């Protein structure tokens, strides 16, 4: 089964052709040691953004802009607020957004910690909150995200499977336990509709009932 799964994952990734701007952003992310979302994960984000007609999206974890490019591609009406502690990587992200033809004003890039910035963002106002920051900060980020989402809005947590470590009970590293416990808590919540999607490194989606 494990071999079949690996083959299916690889097949799903190979089906997604990446444009050159995003490929360059991905290459630069590697130089910063930033783990960008996979191409299949990005395609899924674009699709969710388009299908939900998302106009207002918040991202934690700009990196060099890979996930932001996929989100911005969902629709020309989509406005992205993206937060990261690494200003140098964000500078690259800004350049890649421009190279991709994203008009100025569609991407608001904020430098800072999610725990400091998210509380300043409005209640009940966003269509999608995409969390791809520090796993140890994720629980607090989720609380803020649920406050910020409008009814029917979607919370998306990246790297929800942590390369097989979340599913392996023997793995007890702090960040793995944090994501495993948070995932369970969200999936058991009567207030949320959830889905754990094994695309790329895993996405956990949640929406308030
Ligand atoms: C996995 S990478 C994001 C990759 C990006 N979403 C992509 O797909 O290309 C995680 C990012 O979160 C940032 N980060 C870590 N802790 C953070 C925090 N507390 N607040 C904001 N950003 C944080 C890191 O600097 C890093 O760029």
What is the pTM for the complete model shown?
Answer: 0.98
Compute the distance from residue 203 Cα to the ligand 1 centre, in Å: 15
Question: With the CA atoms of 160, 116, 120 and 66 taken in that order, what torsion angle do they form, in degrees rounded to the nearest 10?
Answer: -40
Give dist(CA 197, CA 194) in Å, integer: 10
Q: Is 41 in the pocket of ligand 1 (CB under 6 A)?
A: no
How sure is the predictor about 1, in pLDDT bands with cuts at 50, 70 and 90? low
Ligand 1 neighbour 182 (Cβ under 6 A): no
Give the CB-side neighbour count of residue 139, counting CA atoms within 13 A.
13
Mean pLDDT estimate for the chain: 97
pLDDT, one tens digit per residue, over 103-161 is: 989 999 999 999 999 999 999 999 999 999 999 999 999 999 999 999 999 999 999 99
- What kind of architecture, by CATH, is found in domain 2-208? 3-Layer(aba) Sandwich (3.40)
* Residue 37 Cβ < 6 Å to ligand 1: yes
Query: Count of CB atoms within 10 A of residue 13's CB?
Result: 16
**Position 168 pLDDT exceeds 90:** yes
Is residue 162 within 6 Å of ligand 1 at its C-beta? no
Ligand 1: centre distance to CA 22 (Å): 17
User: Cα 160 vs. chain centroid, distance in angstroms?
Assistant: 10
Spans of all domains in the chain: 2-208
């Amino acid at each position: 089964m494990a071999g079949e799964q690996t083959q299916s994952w690889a097949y799903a990734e190979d089906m997604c052709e990446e444009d050159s701007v995003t490929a360059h952003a991905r290459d630069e992310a590697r130089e910063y040691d930033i783990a960008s979302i996979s191409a299949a994960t990005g395609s899924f984000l674009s699709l969710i953004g388009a299908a939900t007609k998302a106009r207002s999206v918040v991202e934690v974890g700009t990196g060099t802009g890979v996930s932001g490019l996929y989100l911005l591609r969902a629709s020309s009406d989509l406005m992205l607020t993206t937060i990261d502690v690494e200003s140098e990587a964000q500078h690259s992200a800004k350049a890649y957004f421009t190279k991709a033809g994203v008009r100025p004003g569609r991407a608001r890039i904020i430098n800072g910690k999610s725990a400091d910035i998210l509380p300043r963002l409005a209640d009940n106002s966003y269509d999608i909150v995409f969390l791809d920051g520090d796993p140890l900060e994720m629980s607090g980020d989720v609380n803020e995200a649920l406050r910020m989402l409008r009814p029917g809005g979607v919370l998306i947590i990246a790297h929800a499977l942590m390369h097989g470590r979340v599913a392996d009970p023997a793995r007890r590293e702090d960040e793995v336990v944090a994501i495993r416990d948070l995932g369970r808590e969200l999936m058991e919540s009567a207030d949320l509709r959830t889905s754990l999607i094994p695309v790329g490194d895993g996405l956990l989606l949640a929406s308030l009932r």
